A and B are shown apart, each in its own frame.
Chain A
Amino acid sequence: MERQPASTGSRQELGRLLEAVLSNRGRANAVFDILAVLQSEDPEEIKEGVRTCSRLFGTLLEREELFVGSLPCEDMALAGSQGATYKYKVWMRHRYHSCCNRLEELLTHPSFQVKELALETLMKFVQLEGAKPLEKPQWESHYLFPRTLFRAVVGGLLTPEDDHSLLISQFCEYLEYDDIRYHAMQVATSILARATSRQPEVSLTFWNNAFTLLSAVNLPLQEHELTNFYVKHAQTSSKWKVVHLKEQRKAFQEMWLGFLKHKLPLSLYKKVLVAMHDSILPHLAQPTLMIDFLTSACDVGGAISLLALNGLFILIHKHNLEYPDFYQRLYGLLDPSIFHVKYRARFFHLADLFLSSSHLPAYLVAAFAKRLARLALTAPPEALLMVLPLICNLLRRHPACRVMVHRPQGPELDADPYDPTEKDPARSRALESCLWELQTLQQHYHPEVSRAASVINQALSVPEVSIAPLLELTAYEIFEQDLKKMMPESVPLEFIPAKGLLGRQDDLCTQFFCLS
């Protein structure tokens, strides 16, 4: 056959070539011209080429004009003694593979539109190839899925060089289908294992891409018929693994365990832990397998420890995990910097949740109350307005701890028996102490804090104070509230006349500063 020269960059030309290939087998060499457009530098031409290939191979797959079965080598097939039709199908399938490889490469193209179009085309091929498999079924109702092609797609998303968060968000639409979800989990697991086994260090981009894909997988909560398939089948069989939620949960678990097995960057630690108690733990087949990961995360410290404790709490609460150091670790997280971090609201919300059980021992709750009160001596007013009601709520939930604010027959002590350096709440002797810190805070300069600390002067009322609106309180909001407060009839004034900026003799500013 003679190759005809093709002028690139023209839609009509591509249409003409497409028509020629589809109408006449003799002109099949035009496929090379169509594939050459995919190598172009112009994104628009690439897009046209991708669309043309989509229509070309889509039609060929529907017509079953591609070779079915294990693919022999192209040269041997062409040199063999088979018929012309056999040779044509083998040759065309090789062109099909070339096209798929190029599309996989296009998933890393700078232009997002090209990436998106390549992804759509590849998924279309997956669908068509699934409907008309290119492999021979081994038994009557054997389940066939184009795993090789799908692996290429997922592999294109999880690359260590480029950030594919946007493209993965596009791919999430396909994860709604049960079969796509199942196979995506399997492929992701294998890709992760392969990537980490080959290279000792993996780039942060790869981890981010992997996490983005893994966090997008959402399993259904209830067992029902998983029949929402992307690749349509005439009839489904109960023998297929893809139909069972249990199997999908196993794949989900293997995926996450494979991901968390490796050392992750700190930012990903936080993201995983944030999603742990909502998106991961409820869907695991055996949630207790996360113990190792969570306990190691507890040792990191800071926000990561807090989030890990949240996951551990769910395991303890719902899966009967016995973790004796839970409250000791929570006790260790209480340090003065807790009031100034970004996750302050989440921390205190979780601490309130962890301490909400009425079956906690009194010495433990007393230790936490005393620790919080001690930290309150160094806290800003917006944090105090949240901590003081929290302490009062702890005393309300556990009447045994009310001796800390009302000990009528107690002796007068020379020193506070509480040991702030003791790391074990059981041995900190908090129950023997009183909350003198709250008494000190009754002299705080802000009237709201002083009023909140004065609650302990009266017997605590039974209903708890909700601290939810106080968790997000900032100093600026307190400032605005003070400004908007109703003013008295007349503003009180200073009656000692001013002699200048540093005019008074008894001023501290006058002692330490001068106007020179």
Chain B
Amino acid sequence: MGKAKRTGARRQVHKAPAGAFGGPGKTNPNPFEVKVNRQKFQILGRKTRHDVGLPGVSRARAIKKRTQTLLKEYKERNKSNVFTDKRFGEYNSNISPEEKMMKRFALEQQRYHEKKNIYNLNEDEELTHYGQSLADIEKHNDIVDSDSDTEDRGALSAELTASHFGGGVHKNSSQKEGEDGDKPKTRKELIEELIAKSKQEKRERQAQREDALELTEKLDQDWKEIQILLSRKSKKSENKEKKEKPQPDAYDMMVRELGFEMKAQPSNRMKTEEELAKEEQEKLRKLEAERLRRMLGKDEHENKKKPKHTSADDLNDGFILDKDDRRLLSYKDGKMNIEDAQEEQSKGADGQENDQKEEEDESEEEGEDGESCEDPDESDGPDSHSDLESSAETEEEDETPKKEQRQTPGGKSPKEAQKAQKAAAAELPYVFAAPESFEELKFLLSGRSMEEQLLVVERIQKCNHPSLAVGNKAKLEKLFGFLLQYIGDLATDSTPDLKTIDKLVVHLYNLCQMFPESASDAIRFVLRDAMHEMEEMIETKGRAAFPGLDVLIYLKITGLLFPTSDFWHPVVTPALICMSQMLTKCPVTSLRDVVKGLFVCCLFLEYVSLSRRFVPELLNFLLGILYIATPNKKSQGSTLVHPFRALGKNSELLVVSDKADVTTWQRGSLPLHWANRQSTLTATEANHTRLSCVASCLSLLKHCVLMYSALPSFHAIVTPHQALLAEHLARSLPQELQELSRSILSEVESQKQHCPPLICEKSKPVPLKQFTPRLVKVLEFGRKQGSSKEEQERKRLIHKHKREFKGAVREIRKDNQFLARMQLSEIMERDAERKRKVKQLFNSLATQEVD
């Protein structure tokens, strides 16, 4: 049964190609060869194979193939001799007989060449013959050596015999002579060798000398040819030398200076006129874009962080972005104003950079000339300060005279020399070490005028620039903290030196630009101290006193050094909290407190001028100031916020009852040093100060009204102020203040109130987290079951190998059957023949018997 199945499979394998070749042709003539495999049931989707086959035809073809291949091998298995025709190109039909002959001839020629190579080997043997001949010569030398050896032996034997037989003096002398005889021979040979060597050396020396002479002769000939040209060039160089010597050094120096100037000037001009302006504009645009992004973009950063916690916050922050964008767009005029201001400031920046480059040029000149050029620094010092203070126009005017000055450096030199002689007595040292502690800085700056102090600070920065040495960065970082401390000390004096502080702020700005991290740390430290003091007072007494002028100046400096419009800033946001505490926890008990509070209100407005953020404390404080400027009887119903109280000894602090003082008052700025003032004012001065405070309060209120008019609750915010101002008009204020309050009221009334209903922003519903089970394929229906491609590939290869192996085994088995059948037929034939012969023999025998 198994064999039958295998044969069937074999036939099926061969059916397909048979059908492919000529199925319809063969099927038609002999339909009996066709075998049809009937299916028991028709199943949908099952692929039917091997429905029709031609087993007989495939078997016949296989037998024929084996007779042509396997049978021949079987018959010739015992024959070993085979004639192989190895003529080149004999069985290549493409080549013509002539070409064959040509190629055969070429191959023969190659063989001859090879034979010649063989002869070359013989040549090597001849060399060996020469070698042998040379060896023979050497052998002779060896023989000589052997002779010398024999002689030596004889000498020794003689000595031995003499020693054995004793002997007299004569024999001893004879022995000595024998020794001398041996040595001279060797000496002779040595001498001859030496002579030969010396002769050879002499010959070599002569040859070298002759070569050298020839070369020198050639060189002489070449030199003679070029002599004319050399003489001409040398003459020219001599002429130049003659010309240079008598001229003075001063002139040479001037020429060099002119050369350097020529190199420097064009680049400066190009940059200053066109490129610098463009660069500055681009820088400002980038910085402004970054500032706007920080006003809004902090939310983006926070969005990135917050998705880790909750998604609701992300959505909220994202929408904050949109709202901020909209409002900024609505303030296009505001943007335009900002840009205009930036343009003006950019012009100022251009001027400053020009000044810096001029300073650099001057420093270069210093390096070149020496002490004489140090004077321009002193002369330019006040100029640079005036440049900082003056506007762009004055800077433009100043630029031309500086250029003229540059064009005529020679003219200045005698004047500078005179100035140097004059100022030699009171010169400041030019090199300052960076102070390591605040006391050192104080020591350096004490006892000097304002200009000198500024010069000292400037030179400290220049001498300790980070690019000059490694440790300078840390020193200048400390310098920022020391300058802050110094400014605090100046501010806390009874008569604060505000002008020096005003100048030092510029240096703080420069240091802050170089070292932002240390500057922010220093200012945060200062703010923490102030906040800590206020907190201690609040915890003990429930309220705090206004801090000193130093804290107010620190807050002002914070606004100058860092951007105040950011949504969150590591320095500005704590500063805002600090100012909020001042306006809510510090009661107003004196005029000094009013001045300080108004200063903090100004700072708040400056901080939020760009971002236009809402500051409730600011409006509360201004309301309180208006309240204490109104008599109590008239403002009973208004609502006040802490720290102001409706009744008390300070509830009429700013009321002015003297009409004469009201008429004589003129509007002016409030001096900052009043924040530290302890001295008493006259009644008229006090009243004038009160009116100035009220004027500042009204102006600030107008700024707030203009800034917050777009807020949804503007009317709710401003109603208390409006009520107070309406009653305020009845009072006896100066005409200017009455007009100001009327303008504020008209501004408030002109703002129409729009209350669109609040609508939540539409947001896609967040899909709930579904707890679907994780599906893992454990059982896959079908043959191919494997977790990875590699395993599937391996199984497929194993499968192929098995099929091929089975096919091979099947073929081998059929081959063996075929051979067995052939052998059997041969045996049958031989047996039949033998029987026939036996029969013939028996027949012959039988006939013989019959005869």
Contact = CB atoms under 8 A, between A and B. Distances in A.
A459 B320 contact: no
B485 interface: no
Nearest to B614: A443
Interface stretch (A231-239, A299-307, A410-418): A410-418
Given A451-B320, A485-B570, A501 B577 contact: no
A416 B715 contact: yes
B670 interface: yes
A445 B712 contact: no
A399 interface: no
A457 B761 contact: yes
A446 B757 contact: no
A418 B140 CA distance: 143
Given A512-B699, A515-B498, A483 B755 contact: no
A199 interface: no
Interface stretch (B234-242, B404-412, B503-511): B503-511
Interface residues of B, number: 119
Interface string A498-510: 1111110011110
A443 B711 contact: yes
Contact of B763 (A339, A415, A451, A459): A459
A381 B570 CA distance: 17
A458 B502 contact: no
B671 A496 contact: no
B600 to A, nearest CB: 10
Which secondary structure characterizes the binding site on chain B?
A: helix
Given A406-B759, A479-B578, A491 B713 contact: no
Contact of B616 (A380, A447, A512): A380
Contacts of B717: 377, 440
Most buried by A among B519, B524, B760: B760
B566 A445 contact: no
B616 A379 contact: yes
Nearest to B566: A492
Given A379-B616, A500-B506, A512 B760 contact: no
A499 to B, nearest CB: 6
Interface string A470-486: 00001110110011010
A380 B579 CA distance: 11
A497 B352 contact: yes
A474 B560 CA distance: 28
Contacts of B615: 444-445
Contact of B516 (A380, A434, A444, A491): A491
A378 B580 CA distance: 12
B679 interface: no
Interface in A406-465: 406-408, 410-416, 420, 434-437, 439-447, 450-451, 454-459, 461
A478 B561 CA distance: 23
Contacts of B287: 495
Contact of A434 (B284, B711, B757): B757
Contacts of A509: 556, 599, 602-603, 606
Contact of A445 (B345, B613, B754): B613
Q: In the complex, which of the residues A411, A474, A493 has the most CB atoms of chain B within 10 Å of its own CB atom?
A: A493
Interface in A96-115: none
Nearest to A409: B757
B669 A407 contact: no
A490 B602 CA distance: 28
**Main SS of chain A's interface residues?**
loop
A172 to B, nearest CB: 31
A342 B542 contact: yes
Given A441-B614, A442-B323, A498-B505, A374 B716 contact: yes
B573 A499 contact: no
A516 to B, nearest CB: 5
A41 interface: no
A406 B760 contact: yes
Interface stretch (B181-189, B310-318, B625-633, B785-793): B310-318
B758 A377 contact: no
Contact of B560 (A381, A414, A451, A494): A494
A332 interface: no
B535 A476 contact: yes
B354 interface: no
B272 interface: no
A439 B580 contact: no
Interface of B: 283-284, 287, 290-291, 294, 298, 301, 312-313, 315-317, 319-320, 323, 341-342, 345, 348-349, 352, 388-389, 498-499, 501-503, 505-506, 508-509, 512-513, 516-517, 519-520, 524, 528, 531-532, 534-535, 542, 553, 556-557, 560-564, 566-571, 573-574, 576-578, 580-581, 584-585, 598-599, 602-603, 605-609, 611-617, 619-620, 639-643, 669-673, 696, 699-700, 703, 711-717, 752-761, 763
Given A459-B763, A508-B703, 7 more contacts: A336-B642, A411-B757, A447-B567, A451-B320, A458-B760, A501-B505, A513-B599
29 contacts: A342-B542, A378-B616, A436-B712, A440-B717, A444-B616, A445-B607, A445-B608, A446-B576, A446-B577, A447-B567, A447-B573, A450-B613, A457-B320, A457-B323, A475-B581, A476-B532, A490-B517, A491-B516, A492-B294, A492-B566, A494-B562, A495-B283, A495-B284, A496-B345, A497-B352, A507-B606, A508-B703, A509-B556, A513-B602
